[in-house]
Structure formats: C-alpha cells, structure tokens
Amino acid sequence: RWPCGQLTAKGIEMMRRKGEALRGRYASFLADIDPIRDVHVQSTNIRRTIRSAQSLLVGMFPAYFLNVDAENQLSTNTALASDSQNFLANIPAMQTRKRAGEFVIHADDSNSLAPQHSYELYKDLGKMLADELRQHAPSGFAKASQRISQVIGAESSKLVAWTGLREVLVCRQAHGLAFPDGLDQKLFAQICDYDAWLWHHLYGKREFCRSSFRAGVQRIYSYLNDVRENRSGHKFSLFSAHDNSLVAFVNALQLQVPAVIPPYGAMLVFEVFRHRVTGEFFLKASFEGAEVTFAGHEHSALCPFAVFQQAAQSFLSYDADAKAAL
C-alpha cells in the first residue's frame, strides 16, 4: 500500500546537506529575512515527506535546532500543524533551543501535492502504455525485458512491474546491498531508464495528468500567483512531495526537463523576481541546480511571469477546452 517506505538515517542526512546547500546558495537573501515569519513549509501528510522537510530545515536554519544527527535522533523545536502531529509522536521533546521561534510544517490531509491515483496503477504501466510501447519503445526495451523477466523469475516480460523493481533496486543500491544474481549495473540503468520512459509517457497524457494532478498544479499556481499579487507574506517557501509529483508537474507545465525519475530529495525551484523600475514580475525555474525552460520559451530560463501563468492556465483549463471542441 502506497506509501510503502519510511525515511532512513541516510535520507535524513541527505536532506540536511541539501538544506546546507540551499543556505549557501541563498545566503545573502536569507540574511535579510526572519525565518520564522518569512519561511512557509507545506508537505503531503506522509511521515517521510514531513521528515524530509524537517531535515531540510535543519540544514538551512541550524540555529533553530539542537542535537540533530543522522541516526534519527531529531530533537527540534519544529511545531507541526495539528493534522500531522501524530506522524511525529516519537520525536523527543526539545528542552532548550539556540534561537527562539518555531517552524510550522503545514501538512495537507488531502495530499493535493501527490497525484490522485492508486499506487497499484504502476504495476500495469506496460499494459496501460501498450500502444506507445509498440510504436515508440526505447531502443533495446524488448531484449532487456526478456532478460529481466528471466532474472526475477517472471513468466513473461509483460509481467515485469518496472516501478516496483526499480524502487527496490534503488534502495539496495543506496544502502550498499547486493543485486540479485544476473542483474548488473548496466541492466539496472536500463530498468531506471525504461521506468522513467513509462512515467513520463503516462503523465505526458494530458487527460490523465489533469485528472490525477490538477489539484497539485492549482496549489502551486495559486501560491505563486499570490506572491505576484502581494497576497503572500512569505519570502521563501518549501513544498515537500513525491517523485511522481515532480514528474506530473513538469509534464503538466511542459517544462523542458530530462525524462528521468527524480532521485530522492530532487528539487524543482522557482525564483520570482520583480523589475525595480517597471514592477514587472519574472520567473526562473531550475531542476537539480540546472536551469530549465518552458515550452515556447526555450531561449531563456528567465521568463515573464505570464509564461508560467499561461502554462498553468492552459493545463488547468484543458478539460473545459476539450469539451468545448466536441
């Protein structure tokens, strides 16, 4: 049952380091803000995404945390919204803190930042995308499928659950555990590539993406639009979600991002700028530190805010447009 995994000590340390990297990247910007007042944090109401957000905050704002290490000993002054307190009941209470103030992680019970479909769907991606595979299958897909089915003991290559297999292997790789006999690094890379191909083709289907992730796009679009309209009192915002959230989001907005499944802790960043003279707003997107562009504005990652608005509104109104054309 999704979500299956929990955040490990290694994951906590990875996110802490990512927080440190963000602190360095935005040092001058963060120096001029009050973290407690100006930083906004949202998460899907899942234990590991909440813990991921916590760990990132530890790295970004260490002065507000105490006794944090990678062995899951997380003593913080983080106050969670009431709807998620039960997820973190095992975290020891903080007796003292270095600086006054409490971060609040707003956990979303509706999990709108996650695609709204069953995890079981991933078991049948090959069947769902059978037509696409027949017409546009990646090079070597059929041969690799046969080999993989033999290694894992599947009766047919059509029964390979690519996503489940990839997730298990990624976890084993991350923790230094051996792969099954006959499965080498080359085959592992093919499994990751093929599963990524399936995911991006799935969420690249406009109707499917909209039916499963409209609420997620609406959430981010509304939030950034509030920033533009000066309706948000925040200056730095973090949204903790899932790998399929990112894949669905970049496909929904047609961001020119490589067709990969994001690794744990991957970040899609939007920076919002305001022209000092004209007051016009601009936006720049980056994925894992590399600038990315919107379809139709490939010449520059820095684009008028209207480019982002148009991409989001086009996706959000897709169903209405499709019905009007009938």
Please give the angle made by the CA atoms of 120, 123 and 125, to the nearest 5 degrees. 115
Q: Tell me, what amino acid is at 134?
A: R
Residue-level pLDDT, tens digit, the chain, 326 residues: 344 567 888 999 999 999 999 999 999 999 999 999 999 999 999 999 999 999 999 999 998 887 555 334 443 334 444 434 444 444 443 333 456 678 999 998 888 999 999 888 898 888 889 889 888 888 888 888 889 888 888 766 666 889 999 999 999 999 999 999 999 999 999 999 999 999 999 999 999 999 999 999 999 999 999 999 999 889 999 999 999 999 999 999 999 999 999 999 999 999 999 999 999 999 999 999 999 999 999 999 999 999 999 999 999 996 655 555 44
Structure tokens at 268: 């899609």
Contact 264, 284 (CB under 8 A): no
Q: What's the pLDDT score for residue 123?
A: 86
Is residue 272 within a helix (H) or strand (E), and if so which, with residue range? Answer: strand 268-274
CB-based contacts of 318, cutoff 8 Å, min separation 6: 206, 207, 210
Q: Return the pLDDT at 318.
A: 67
- What local confidence, expressed as pLDDT, does residue 120 receive? 86
Residue closest to 166 by CA, chosen among 216, 115, 112, 125: 125
Phi, psi of 147 (to 5 degrees): -65, -45
Give residue 93's pLDDT: 38
pLDDT of residue 67: 56
Confidence at residue 68, expressed as pLDDT on a 0 to 100 scale:
53
- Determine the pLDDT at residue 109: 85
pTM of the predicted protein model:
0.85
- Find how far residue 158's CA is from the centre of its chain: 28
Domain ranges of the chain: 9-111, 119-203, 240-326
